[in-house]
Amino acid sequence: MRRFRPILSPAGVIVLFVSLIIIIRSLILRNSYEIVLAAAILFFLLIFGVIGIWKSKKLKSMEPGWKPPFPFTALVSSLAEKTGNNPGDYTLITGLDGNIPFFFRLHFFIKGKFYPNGSGNGCNTSAETSVPRGETSAKIPLDFPVSGIFRGEGFCQLRDIFGFFSFSCGEPQQRTLNVRCAPCFGKKTAINAQSGAEDQRSKPSADIERYYMREYTPGDRFRDINWKSSEKIDMLITRISTDNQERISRIEIYFRNFCAIGNGRKGVSLEALWLLDRAKARLSYFLRSLMELNSSFIFDVRTGNKNWEIEDLDDLDAFLEELAGISFLPPQNETPIQQSPGDIYVFSAACDTGLNSFLLACNPRPVNLFLIQPGNSAANKNEQTKTEDNEILCSSDFHSNGINIPINYFKRGSVKSLGINTNKTQIFYAEIKL
């Protein structure tokens, strides 16, 4: 939907206002030099205005589109060097066809609201780029420091090089983007997955050969490799016996996105959102590393919002897209599936006040806990040297990317560390710096 935007920029309004004052004053005083000066400025503004209006009408049919990279990943300055997630994946602008008059340039804008971790309080966001003369495409930097959802509009404006006028042209394009969390890395996790039942899913008869073959994984018998098929596709393929169908390993995962502060979705602090973002990063790394280790794993992921069954990379990719927009929910009672054997893997943050009760309910099953604690706590300073490095989010990461953080995010108190004492707990730290 096209919005009304003023033609004169603030600089143009000031120049026009000053010129009118000068010409009125010069007519009263009959100062010919001031009359000529003011008239020249007004004539100059008139010429540029007429050219801009005429050309912007010709460019109304232009349909510029903006295509962000996929997957769209958050960028944190303190983690960029460590993770290798450096700037460079710009949003591509296409469809910028049209002859631009001299002393004018096309500018592309993206404006909208960013919802960190899907929170209810959005941040106003804007990005801008100038299109090089004669080019039909351009790149615009659009980065976010945490995961979440961005809803924005991209539109073009024709501007003179002096910055006096701004004319809307082309059709605006709206987008909704899922921003995934910045990556993290850590030690490999030893897995004690529950042994699953036989894979009895029905397959069409035409797929019978593919059904009893799969990619080679460490531990498969050497004599089961199908060398002919492997040579054709340049990949090791393992035969699966028709008498014994392949058994699967299921891994039960709980992602606890619960927070008692601010009634869940609304009213949470930026620190709490950063802790949730780092919990998402740990879960993402856990899933990817295990799927690379053994493609036969099946992950049963349970969150406060929804349950997922992840069997392959396509399922994982779809899950990570939805995970980007998952926000906090108010605390609720949650119990594990007691009849299932094997370890439970739990990902949580310090704002989850019901975590201790959940861990007690898991007995007697073994629990592997991945916990994100606030790094600015004095009690945690000594422990941080024994574990992973502290992951820091600076407020400048927002401002440098054209994101205005509501002041409410800093007025909602700090998160206190949880006292968790279990044998299989990995603690990570995350901190906010202004």
Q: What is the pLDDT of residues 82-95, one digit of tens each?
A: 555 555 568 888 88
Q: What's the domain range around 235?
A: 203-247
- CA–CA separation, 113 and 116 (whole Å): 10
Whether residues 261 and 368 fall in one domain: yes
My answer on whether 43 and 140 are in the same domain is yes
- Classify residue 2: in a domain, yes or no: no
Q: What is the 3-state secondary structure (H, E, C) of 361-382?
A: HCCCCCEEEEEEEECCCHHHCC
Higher pLDDT, 245 or 332: 332
pLDDT: which is higher, 341 or 180: 180
Tell me if 253 is assigned to some domain: yes
Residue 219 sits in the same domain as residue 115: no
In the 8-state DSSP scheme, what is residue 386?
G
Lowest mean pLDDT segment, chosen from 154-168, 255-269, 367-381 = 255-269
Q: Which of 228, 247, 266 is the last residue of a domain?
A: 247
Show the tokens assigned to 274: 């950063």
Q: Supply the pLDDT for residue 241.
A: 54
Dist CA 248 CA 229 (whole Å): 23
pLDDT tens for each residue of 342-353: 788 999 998 888
| Rounded distance between C-alpha atoms, residue 230 and residue 11, angstroms | 68
Mean pLDDT (the chain, rounded): 80
Total-model pTM: 0.77
The single-letter code of the amino acid at 36 is V
Examine the domain organization and report whether 221 and 303 are in the same domain. Answer: no
In the chain, the number of structural domains is 3
The distance between the two most distant Cα atoms of the chain, rounded to a whole number of Å, is 107
Residue 191 forms part of a structural domain: no
Same domain membership, residue 279 and residue 216: no
Task: Look at the alpha carbons of 372, 375, 381, 386 in this order and tell me if their dihedral is positive or negative.
Answer: positive
Q: Is 196 among the domain residues?
A: no
Confidence bin at 366 (pLDDT 50/70/90): confident
* Residue 218 shares a structural domain with residue 262: no
CA–CA gap between residue 320 and residue 301 (Å, rounded): 11
What pairs with residue 185 in β-bridges? none
Preceding omega of 145 cis (within 30 degrees of 0)? no
pLDDT exceeding 70 applies to what percent of the chain? 79
425 domain-assigned: yes
52 torsion bin: left (phi>0), alpha (psi -120 to 50), beta (else): alpha
Residues 392 and 295 reside in one and the same domain = yes
- Let me know if residue 115 belongs to a domain: yes
* Kind of pairing between the strands at 194-198 and 247-255: antiparallel
